[in-house]
Amino acid sequence: MVPVIRRTLLPLGLALAALGLTACGGIGGRPAGPLTPTGSPSPGPTAATSGSPSPVPSGGVLSVPSVLPADSCRLAVDAMTPAEQAGQLVMVGYDLKGDTTSGTGKLIASQHLGSVLLMNTTTGGVTGVRAVTDALRAAAGSDGAGLFIAVDQEGGQVKRLSGSGFASMPSAAEQGRMATDALTGSARRWGQDLHSAGVDIDLAPVADVVPPDLVSVNQPIARYDRGFGTDTTAVGAHVTAFVTGMRAGGTGTAVKHFPGLGQVVGNTDVTADVTDTRTTRHDALLRPFADGISAGTDMVMVSSARYTRIDPDHPAVWSSVVIKDMLRGDLGWQGVVVSDDLGVAAQVSSVPAGERAVRFIEAGGDIAVTVDPALADDMVSAIADRARSDPAFAATVRASALRVLDLKAERQRAHCRPA
């Protein structure tokens, strides 16, 4: 989730040193490539160049009401109510085959939701998806903070969007066998396709490394060919190539699932009590996440598995050790942290929905994902209620909302200047 500065990055050598690893060249910071792809339509003017923003076509920067300060994202967040700030911290699922854009738009508007995740699949092509993303933005209206639209587009069996205009996208396992420069070129095309379809963030790539002895039993990654391979250095190089290419194509990325689902057996989506008994805080298998951060990823997604050698008392999504100490501390990541699904995932189902989101924000996360839109109200209300009664938590919510809005401004979805 940067040439900017809300996402202060450790140089790769320092980040790897924090993991007890040795850098193999490369430095931190996001590469200076374009945010919008050459030859593709720009999403619209940025706040920094727009003195008095006016409405632009759907899929571009949203118009800003006079009540929202248009110069500083910090002022914009300060002008929000607790409920509005809380809404920026929830990403709601939209079923491409079952939901309506008008219904989801009303939900977004009423709950001030900041992000949508496209779920299920469609073969409607770029034009068909763009009609959906435009309609979602139009139905949601504009509170000045803009709307992020994300999708899981990894390739192979995890490819939500296809049809005319979407280039062929092989599985991550096949991508891992490509030369890195070839992968960068392909990822640029995939990024251009998503950008043209009105998608802002691809919740990819998978940076998890499945050791050879677990390939036959690992359910979340190996079973579906979602990983780049079993060699940590090679996986890191392909994570870098994917992130770099997608960004050159105009689409942001979310490296996932920190601190890794490569050393588990069960899938947290359908199985409770998924536990990793092998990964350590300075594990060598964390290197691809450091590589993805150094390459300039827009977000980092945290898994909901439990890591007994890191924090035995909490799943990663609710662990300040994982998010604050490891991700933000050891790896120096100061950008947006997004959760794995907190809506229908079996791993978290025993906890009330609102509490799931509160625990994630309290642990240091920023955007709580719920695939089930029916839970969005509970999550926003729980975050806002806690913020109203707890000044320390209110400050945490404000800081998270600012990170989200800064990223939206960088990606030209909000009319304000990043802090």
Pairwise pLDDT comparison (53 vs 266), residue with the higher score: 266
Length of the chain: 419
Angle, nearest 10°, between helix axes 125-140 and 180-196?
A: 50
**Paired residues of 254 in beta bridges:** 299
Which pLDDT score is estimated for 142?
Answer: 63
Q: Are 336 and 366 in contact (CB under 8 A)?
A: yes
**Paired residues of 275 in beta bridges:** 306
Three-class secondary structure of residue 237 per DSSP = helix
Query: Alpha-carbon distance 330 to 292, whole Å?
Result: 14
- What is the pairing mode between strands 299-302 and 252-258? parallel
Query: Alpha-carbon distance 23 to 29, whole Å?
Result: 15
| Domain annotation covers residue 49 | no
How large is the average pLDDT for residues 364-388? 98
Domain residue limits at 339: 12-25+70-410
Has residue 362 got a pLDDT over 60? Answer: yes
Please, which pLDDT band fits residue 145 given cuts at 50, 70 and 90? confident
How large is the average pLDDT for residues 316-327? 98
Please, which pLDDT band fits residue 93 given cuts at 50, 70 and 90? very high
Query: Alpha-carbon distance 415 to 51, whole Å?
Result: 10
| Domain annotation covers residue 401 | yes
Q: What is the largest CA-CA distance in the chain?
A: 59
Residue from 289, 335, 253, 302 nearest 33 by CA: 253
Lowest mean pLDDT among 33-47, 135-149, 183-197: 33-47
| Domain annotation covers residue 95 | yes
Please, which pLDDT band fits residue 141 given cuts at 50, 70 and 90? confident
Number of Cα atoms under 13 Å in the Cβ half of residue 115: 30
Three-class secondary structure of residue 404 per DSSP = helix
Has residue 229 got a pLDDT over 90? Answer: yes
| Domain annotation covers residue 62 | no
Residue from 53, 76, 48, 72 nearest 64 by CA: 53
Which pLDDT score is estimated for 419?
Answer: 76
Has residue 56 got a pLDDT over 80? Answer: no
Angle, nearest 10°, between helix axes 180-196 and 232-248?
A: 40
Residue from 63, 47, 53, 66 nearest 140 by CA: 63
Pairwise pLDDT comparison (7 vs 162), residue with the higher score: 162
Has residue 82 got a pLDDT over 80? Answer: yes
Please, which pLDDT band fits residue 53 given cuts at 50, 70 and 90? very low
**Paired residues of 276 in beta bridges:** 307
| Domain annotation covers residue 65 | no
Residue from 258, 391, 265, 223 nearest 335 by CA: 258
List the CATH number of the domain containing 192.
3.20.20.300
How large is the average pLDDT for residues 58-64? 37
How large is the average pLDDT for residues 349-372? 98
**Torsion 328-330-332-333 (CA) sign:** negative
Which pLDDT score is estimated for 71?
Answer: 79
Which of the 8 DSSP states describes residue 122?
A: B
How large is the average pLDDT for residues 269-296? 97
Which pLDDT score is estimated for 259?
Answer: 98
Q: What is the dihedral of CA 297, 302, 308, 310, to 10 degrees?
A: 40
Query: Alpha-carbon distance 312 to 248, whole Å?
Result: 39
Which pLDDT score is estimated for 39?
Answer: 39
| Domain annotation covers residue 92 | yes
pLDDT tens column, 96-123: 999 999 999 999 999 999 999 999 999 9
Has residue 49 got a pLDDT over 80? Answer: no
For 205, residues 6+ apart whose C-beta sits below 8 A from its C-beta are 154, 172, 228, 238, 239, 242, 243, 253, 255, 256, 292
CA 2 vs CA 10, 139, 297: distances in Å: 12, 30, 7
**Paired residues of 161 in beta bridges:** 122
In the chain, the number of structural domains is 1
Query: Alpha-carbon distance 305 to 277, whole Å?
Result: 10
How large is the average pLDDT for residues 363-383? 98
| Domain annotation covers residue 147 | yes
| Domain annotation covers residue 415 | no
Has residue 336 got a pLDDT over 70? Answer: yes
Lowest mean pLDDT among 11-25, 35-49, 309-323, 391-405: 35-49
Has residue 353 got a pLDDT over 90? Answer: yes
Pairwise pLDDT comparison (264 vs 33), residue with the higher score: 264
